[in-house]
Chains A and B, each alone.
Chain A
């Protein structure tokens, strides 16, 4: 069934190979300073220079801008209308670069927010995919769709029905992420039993689904779902790393989806990252600091696959650790 569900037809393979435009357009990590305002720590902009420039020297007070709004709310936010939220000039800059929505994910440490990770999503054109925040619904045991962004007309019906869907703990991708507090990757949502909404709900275009638990201390605050389509994947590589069963200071790959880059996937086999001494590579360092990490240095992907990454045209990497009561359980890596 593996090969069944993931075998992509030759045409899609070529499509994917040529598609370099990912849904994830940019990422920023905002750090909370001692004065309670947020300043940009790092950013991944690729060619979106206008956005980079608009962030320079910006300081956001609580409630200000995307990151500030999340800080004020104390919970993850997702905006599909940047103009009304973003700091002055940033919405235009984003729009200029084709970015139409953003998610702001606060990172908690010791019950307090220490940083906010902001993800920008592309819109318009051929963009097809989405980001959804699932949080406690009407029923005590159910997750309901909160703020969400569905790009493109291809998901119109999917978006309409999803409003009415609730998932109990353990059911569907959000329910499973909730149950295990564990990020989960679904390589092909239409063929998977984990992902319950699908073709019948108008999600025929979707391919990879990633569910991320958004934790506050030991409690799950929400589940972020990043949905890729075959034409515009969220990122070109999705990976989940976890501490090895033998050695807790070594991260081994738990799950990876490489789409159109099998060579890069092969290069990733048998790879591991140490978390000692400040950590090794993108996942290792993220695990060591328990903070999200953004990088444009291909060496951070591991020396063994640096060349493969360059050949595949990868430029940006992001690691999001899943921290439960100060313990890093997983590190989710997105590369594009």
Chain B
């Protein structure tokens, strides 16, 4: 695998800040770094409001990037485009078009020179792929939420995107439909090998679907906390994966990460007192706060300024 493929998607020091009239800009996401291998499915998990969707929307180009870079296949992302197809939490179908029409809209855009017959075949192929061969000419209002989401997936995949961005696409579905759709997506990705980022807050989904799980710390200033590689072979079957001991180990690891992040939100606790302790722990004033690493912004700066490479003060 070439270097370009192993770093097919690179997210470098991504920051999303919103202006705050009362003070410094609020950094929802700060210093988000992630590399995705070509064809990998990365699930992003974190507490709600941690900025997962913000990251995805920045990747999609739908939310402006404050600073940092997103590079997909060697090209810096600048605004939205059909090379990064998005499936939103709501199906977002155009209600005045049938499922066929909704998919065709994207196909027309991405195959401008194809003949009418070819386009027709493409649309039908993808609707077939998501299992909607019989509902091609139905309007969104005539379909269930799960079916609508299938159309959304078909529309996204029909764009032949370099990257598929799924923003909690199963969030509003009941668990049976959800499992059904998870398998549909895995089947499609096994065939199409599209590099995918899936936002979720469902631990089982994160483990079952992913090649890698990207756990996010709590916002503000959210970033990648830990990355878990999921070694299960593809194609996967739910029964095989969920009966593997490792599934439960990974699941437990994920849950403990989330719990840990929930327990200690930055700002929830008083600043550490600089005093020697009877229990034999000493912490100097203004050092790296080991308990609330993301909260001690000033500490980090200080540590960096006195210890950063190339800024030596000690000889």
Contact = CB atoms under 8 A, between A and B. Distances in A.
B315 A327 contact: yes
Contacts of B31: 170
A65 B260 CA distance: 42
B291 A197 contact: no
B126 to A, nearest CB: 31
Contacts of A264: 280
A169 interface: yes
Contact of B290 (A3, A7, A192): A192
A161 B253 contact: yes
Contacts of B66: none
Nearest to B282: A256
B165 to A, nearest CB: 18
Contacts, number: 194
Interface stretch (A47-55, A68-76, A104-112, A178-186): A178-186
B33 A169 contact: yes
A218 B315 contact: no
A141 B33 contact: yes
Given A1-B269, A171-B223, A242 B306 contact: yes
B287 interface: yes
B223 A170 contact: yes
A193 B292 contact: yes
B176 interface: no
A174 B307 CA distance: 17
Contacts of B249: 157, 160-161, 201-202
A172 B223 CA distance: 11
B300 to A, nearest CB: 7
B239 interface: no
Interface in A14-43: none
A101 to B, nearest CB: 23
Interface string B10-53: 10100000000000000000010111110000000000000000
Interface in A210-225: 218
B303 A197 contact: no
Contacts of B33: 140-141, 168-170
A255 interface: yes
Contacts of B303: 180, 182
B20 to A, nearest CB: 23
A262 interface: yes
B129 interface: no
A181 B300 CA distance: 12
B281 A257 contact: yes
A200 B253 contact: yes
A252 B283 CA distance: 11
Contacts of B225: 171-172, 196
A3 to B, nearest CB: 7
Given A161-B253, A255-B287, A181 B308 contact: yes
Contacts of A6: 277, 279, 281
Contacts of A265: 276-277, 280-282
Contacts of B308: 180-181
Contact of A245 (B12, B246, B254, B306): B306
B226 A166 contact: yes
A199 interface: yes
Given A6-B281, A139-B35, A268-B282, A182 B292 contact: no
B269 to A, nearest CB: 5
Instruction: With a 10 A CB-CB cut-off, give which of B270, B277, B303 has the most chain A CB atoms.
Output: B277
B79 interface: no
Given A180-B304, A187-B281, A324 B309 contact: yes
B95 interface: no
A253 B281 CA distance: 12
Contacts of B307: 180-182, 242, 329-330
B231 interface: yes
A260 B281 CA distance: 10
A255 B282 contact: yes
A235 B192 CA distance: 53
B291 A327 contact: no
Given A138-B6, A172-B225, A262-B280, A243 B34 contact: no
Nearest to B313: A248
Nearest to B7: A140
A171 B224 contact: yes
Contact of A167 (B226, B259, B284): B226
A79 B21 CA distance: 56
Given A196-B225, A258-B280, A243 B270 contact: no
A176 B226 CA distance: 12
B276 A182 contact: no
B214 to A, nearest CB: 9
Contact of B10 (A140, A160, A256, A330): A140
A132 to B, nearest CB: 15
B80 interface: no
Nearest to B261: A193
Nearest to B229: A164
A261 to B, nearest CB: 6
A163 B33 CA distance: 20
B125 interface: no
Contacts of B228: 164-166
Interface of A: 1-3, 5-8, 138-142, 157, 160-161, 164-172, 176, 180-182, 184-187, 191-194, 196-202, 218, 242-243, 245, 248-249, 252-262, 264-266, 268-269, 275, 287, 324-325, 327-330
Of all A-B residue pairs in the complex, the 9 with the closest CB atoms, nearest first, are A200-B256, A258-B280, A139-B35, A327-B312, A141-B33, A256-B282, A166-B227, A243-B314, A248-B314
6 contacts: A141-B12, A168-B227, A170-B223, A176-B288, A201-B249, A245-B306
Given A187-B281, A255-B287, A330-B307, 14 more contacts: A139-B227, A165-B227, A168-B223, A170-B223, A171-B223, A171-B225, A171-B226, A180-B288, A182-B288, A182-B307, A193-B293, A200-B257, A243-B314, A253-B282
